[in-house]
Every structure is written in C-alpha cells, then in structure tokens.
Amino acid sequence: MKIPFAESWKIKMIEPIKKSTREQREQWLKEAHYNVFQLKAEQVYIDLLTDSGTGAMSDRQWAELMLGDESYAGATSFYKFEATVQKILGLKYIIPTHQDALPRMFFSPIL
C-alpha cells in the first residue's frame, strides 16, 4: 500500500518575545505614568489588554478558527459559543458584537 505524501514537519505560529526583569517593568510603567497604553509592544510579555496578540495560538485554536461557520444568521459556531458561555458563566443571553476585524464578545448580566 502506498502512503500519501505528507510533510515531515508541523507548522505552528510562533514569535520570539523578550523577557524583562521586574525592575525594568516597574521603570517602564513609571515612565508611562502607569498608563499601559503608553508601553511599547516589545515591553509587553503577555498582552492581556488587547486582542492584537503577542502570543501564539495553539493548533486547536487554529483548528477552531478554520472550522468556524462564518454565516451571520444561524451560524453553528454561534450556538456552540452560546452553549459554552452559558455553561461556564450561567448567563441566559449572549450577544456577540464585532469591532475591527476580530469579534469581541459582550455578555449580558441578565439571568
């Protein structure tokens, strides 16, 4: 039996990042007047503020991105998302909204 051709390597999205010391981070924050929007991207180790991303996505995150249903009405990915948010947060109403090219999700506190 002949095996189909497959690449002998895996592709993952990675980007090197620069580590810093606590003293450096404290100095950068002080110089930015404690406004994290004034920090340079290379001064940020893990970006928890924006969706611009300074970290790599896992193979499973990429897979979900590729499998997502991009329909605006009745998308199966919405129902999967809704069920997951309801299970984790216990919220009855979920309203996804879009900003820029990436969706940002806002959750209703109404139960």
Give backbone dihedrals phi and psi of 39, rounded to 5 degrees, phi first. -75, 150
The structure's pTM equals 0.39
Torsion of CA 110, 106, 88, 69, to 10 degrees: 120
Tokens of 5: 């051709």
Q: Give the total residue count for the chain.
A: 111
**Residue 26 has what pLDDT?**
94
Tens digit of pLDDT at every position of the chain (111 positions): 677 666 666 666 666 678 899 999 999 999 999 998 899 988 887 777 766 555 567 777 778 788 877 777 788 888 888 899 899 989 888 887 766 555 555 554 554
3-state secondary structure of 52: coil
Tokens of 8: 């002998």
CA distance 62 to 23: 35
